[in-house]
């Protein structure tokens, strides 16, 4: 039930106002500050930038401040190959691992949805459970396995698949493994949610009309699972582009992903304006998928109310 009354009581206004103000203060305003600082000059000071303007100083000062805005940080991002390389690297890893997640996650979701009814809650909990353990711990667990004298190499040597231990850690392979491992529930669950709701009589109809199983899968199941696939892909792709922990712990230090570059600019170089500019460009990379994701959420909400 929704109320279309325009005149609202104070209580109802508060319900909207309290979270609204919180998010505006701690989510929206900070982004404007990032934008502002990305346009200011780097300075060796604390905080390490020259403020662009003082909001208390009135319109004249504001006009003057606008004329002082500097795009030098963005020019730096464009001119230094390092930044472009790490943006491309992020997109490549995010795209590749989303594809991998889809290839691995879909069969799992399909298996879950086709499991006998009374098994489903158990299987569901089994898939969700690792998600509750710490993200950092799960990545750390892989360091145990992937390091040079780790279990993977011991196993491969024992099975005589390789003759000498190969380097797994600090490679892109390790990053892909870590990402697929951490994000798998985010891919599996949306797909499972759509497959579970699918009307199975459609498949029976297809079978009755002589359609072979693989063709029914291709023509019926796959198109119907599309919303879940898109939601899963977005839930994985967007955060992976800005991922920091996984490439930092498992990846090589040669080509950094953009999250690592931002981190390094901020913590190691203490160059806040450049870090802010990196963040703004990163935001531009993910803003289109985020808008698509939000529209899906809003449409979904509207459909269900």
Instruction: Tell me which residues in 46-65 interact with other proteins (CB under 8 A).
Output: 47
Which residue's CB is nearer to other proteins, number 255 or number 286? Answer: 286
Closer to other proteins by Cβ: residue 92 or 200: 200
Q: Does 43 bind other proteins (CB under 8 A)?
A: no
Stretch that binds other proteins, among 61-69, 73-81, 129-137, 216-224 (CB under 8 A): 129-137
* Structure-block tokens of residue 261: 């570059």
Residue choice 181, 198, 252, 270 for contact with other proteins (CB under 8 A): 181
In terms of C-beta density within 10 A (0-12 exposed, 13-18 middle, 19 or more buried), how is residue 241 classed? buried
**Contact status: 217 vs other proteins (CB under 8 A):** no
Tokens read off for 216 = 């029914």
Please count the other Cβ atoms lying within 10 Å of the Cβ belonging to residue 136.
Answer: 10
124: Cα within 13 Å, side-chain hemisphere: 14
Q: Which of 186, 221, 233, 256 binds other proteins (CB under 8 A)?
A: 186
91 binds other proteins (CB under 8 A): no
Q: Which of 97, 251, 95 is nearest to 179 (CA)?
A: 97
Which three-class secondary structure state does DSSP give residue 120?
Answer: helix
- Least Å distance between CB 24 and other proteins? 7
74 interacts with other proteins by CB under 8 A: no
Q: Per rule CB under 8 A, is residue 127 in the interface with other proteins?
A: yes
Least Å distance, CB 149 to other proteins, is 5
What is 218-279 written as a DSSP string?
IIIIHHHTHHHHHHHHHHHHHHHHT--HHHHHHS-SSS--HHHHHHIIIIIS--HHHHHHHH
Show the site string, 219-238: x = touches other proteins by CB under 8 A, - = not. --------xx--xx-xx--x
Q: How far apart are CA 184 and CA 173, in angstroms?
A: 16
Q: Does 125 bind other proteins (CB under 8 A)?
A: yes
User: 78 exposed, middle or buried (CB, 10 Å; 0-12, 13-18, 19+)?
Assistant: exposed
| CA–CA gap between residue 246 and residue 179 (Å, rounded) | 7
Q: Does 144 bind other proteins (CB under 8 A)?
A: yes
Q: Residue 273's closest CA among 33, 86, 24, 27?
A: 33
Task: Rule CB under 8 A: choose which of 10, 26, 59, 214 binds other proteins.
Answer: 26
Nearer to other proteins, 76 or 245 (CB): 245
Nearer to other proteins, 85 or 145 (CB): 145
Q: How far apart are CA 221 and CA 217, in angstroms?
A: 5
Residue 66 or 197: which CB sits closer to other proteins? 197
| For other proteins, the closer CB: 153 or 255 | 153
- Applying CB under 8 A, does 209 fall inside the site for other proteins? no
CB 292 to other proteins: min, Å: 10
């Amino acid at each position: 039930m929704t109320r279309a009354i325009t005149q609202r009581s104070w209580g109802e206004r508060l319900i909207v106002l309290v979270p609204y103000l919180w998010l505006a203060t701690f989510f929206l305003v900070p982004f404007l500050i990032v934008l502002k600082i990305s346009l200011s000059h780097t300075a060796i000071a604390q905080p390490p930038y020259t403020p662009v303007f003082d909001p208390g100083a009135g319109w004249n000062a504001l006009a003057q401040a606008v004329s002082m805005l500097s795009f030098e940080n963005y020019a730096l991002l464009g001119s230094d190959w390092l930044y472009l390389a790490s943006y491309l690297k992020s997109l490549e890893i995010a795209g590749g691992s989303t594809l991998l997640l889809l290839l691995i996650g879909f069969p799992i979701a399909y298996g879950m949805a086709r499991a006998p009814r009374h098994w489903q809650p158990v299987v569901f909990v089994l898939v969700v459970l690792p998600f509750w353990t710490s993200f950092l711990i799960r990545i750390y667990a892989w360091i145990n396995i992937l390091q040079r004298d780790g279990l993977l190499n011991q196993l491969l040597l024992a099975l005589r698949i390789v003759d000498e231990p190969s380097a797994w850690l600090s490679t892109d392979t390790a990053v892909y493994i870590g990402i697929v491992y951490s994000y798998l529930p985010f891919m599996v669950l949306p797909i499972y949610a759509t497959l579970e709701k699918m009307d199975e009589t459609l498949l029976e109809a297809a079978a009755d009309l002589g359609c072979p199983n693989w063709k029914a899968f291709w023509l019926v199941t796959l198109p119907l699972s599309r919303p879940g696939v898109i939601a899963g892909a977005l839930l994985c792709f967007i955060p992976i582009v800005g991922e920091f922990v996984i490439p930092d712990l498992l990846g090589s230090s040669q080509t950094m992903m953009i999250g690592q570059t931002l981190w390094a600019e901020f913590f190691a170089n203490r160059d806040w304006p450049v870090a802010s500019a990196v963040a703004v460009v990163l935001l531009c990379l993910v803003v289109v998928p985020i808008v698509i994701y939000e529209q899906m959420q809003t449409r979904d909400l509207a459909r269900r109310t």
